[in-house]
Structure 1
């Protein structure tokens, strides 16, 4: 696996390089926000996963995350932050990060989360297959999903550029239409390890997912106030 670690603390980089080497991963380091943006602009498809510290010199980590997402909507992105602010963590997820890890962190925990996120991203890549001949394993009134090729269509229009977490979240909801999932249930089902973040993590991912759904067709993720979310396209009208 090829890793880009954007981190200004060289001690952290040296420590993590030992763990990455043990996993036989190749890692590149960027020590400030501007260096990271220059590296990524020159080679936007050069890495399988990115870790990003928020407190960076020259260019703030939030700006770096936003720029990365503009160039690559799907590269797995983990935010590393010493900021305790809940709003900062949620904002990072809303910008497009798949996960966040709060400093100080366990190197083994970070490696485990990177493996899990990379595994999801590698389950299948988007293809250009004609959706009229593809085999879809989740189908509803307006919606089709092939979980192997990661093709997703709403009213015949592709829902594209889904991050690994957004894809898993949509798959979980769509696999059981009209079933209401609490935020805690979604954390357990989509984040398949002990996730220490609060339930607003789910809200941030739902917000981004809804924005991408609305480009393709009607809104099919419904809020059940005081409970959670459900997938329901039975009563929507096509665009």
Structure 2
């Protein structure tokens, strides 16, 4: 059994750098503009399939702390961040305000942060934007059409 199969069987989040995952095998991390953040392998697989079909280059983080660290190291590779709101270690609700603070402290152009949510409620979207600094929301699991709307409305 391969390392990936073993990890999937035990449902342990993969901590291998994103440049070594099958999802990004054809993607040059140096040219990436998107950061996909989710602790669920199925959700990551669905997102990477859509991004691959669109020819978009991305990186993967498995929790908010990894996303924050990756953003601080290379903000130019994280122009749009698709961030799950509920993850272990650090969730998107904690990571997003830290990213926003880092942007202000360093005079950076704000990244587009898309909250990946389970609900379409307008009140929840408003709360995530106003209280946590998200740019917008996207209901998951999302279809290609919904992703295209976000990409069209928030070009990076």
Task: Answer whether TM exceeds 0.5 for this pair.
Answer: yes
Indicate the residue corresponding to 2:125 in structure 1. Answer: 89
Indicate the residue corresponding to 1:79 in structure 2. Answer: 115
The answer on whether the counterparts of 1:7 and 1:32 sit within 8 Å (CA) in structure 2 is yes
Shift of 1:59: 0.8
User: How far, CA to CA, are the matches of 1:109 and 1:38 in structure 2?
Assistant: 28
Task: Give CA deviations for 1:160-197 in whole Å, capped at 9, x if unaligned.
Answer: xxxxxxxxxxxxxxxxxxxxxxxxxxxxxxxxxxxxxx
2:148 maps to 1:117: no
User: Per the alignment, in what secondary structure is the counterpart of residue 110 of structure 1?
Assistant: helix
Indicate the residue corresponding to 2:141 in structure 1. Answer: 104
User: How far, CA to CA, are the matches of 1:7 and 1:111 in structure 2?
Assistant: 19
Shift of 1:34: 1.5
Alpha-carbon RMSD across the aligned residues, in angstroms, is: 2.1
TM-score of the aligned structures, taking structure 2 as reference length:
0.66
User: How far, CA to CA, are the matches of 1:75 and 1:38 in structure 2?
Assistant: 14
Shift of 1:5: 0.7
2:32 maps to 1:13: no
Moved over 4 A (4+): 83-88
- Specify every segment of 5 or more residues in structure 2 that has no aligned partner in the other structure, as ranges: 1-31, 104-108
User: How far, CA to CA, are the matches of 2:141 and 2:48 in structure 1?
Assistant: 16
The structure with the largest helix share of the pair is: 2
Shift of 1:67: 1.0
Distance 1:24 1:108, change over 3 A: same
Shift of 1:116: 2.4
Task: Give CA deviations for 1:22-50 in whole Å, capped at 9, x if unaligned.
Answer: 21111111111211111112112222211
| Higher-Rg member (1/2) | 1
Bigger RCO of structures 1 and 2 (CA < 8 A, at least 6 apart): 2
TM-score of the aligned structures, taking structure 1 as reference length:
0.45
Distance 1:84 1:55, change over 3 A: farther
2:88 maps to 1:52: no
User: Per the alignment, in what secondary structure is the counterpart of residue 101 of structure 2?
Assistant: helix
The answer on whether the counterparts of 1:49 and 1:114 sit within 8 Å (CA) in structure 2 is no
Shift of 1:87: 5.3
Deviation larger for 70-79 or 59-68: 70-79
User: How far, CA to CA, are the matches of 1:36 and 1:83 in structure 2?
Assistant: 23
The answer on whether the counterparts of 1:82 and 1:102 sit within 8 Å (CA) in structure 2 is yes
The answer on whether the counterparts of 1:44 and 1:71 sit within 8 Å (CA) in structure 2 is no
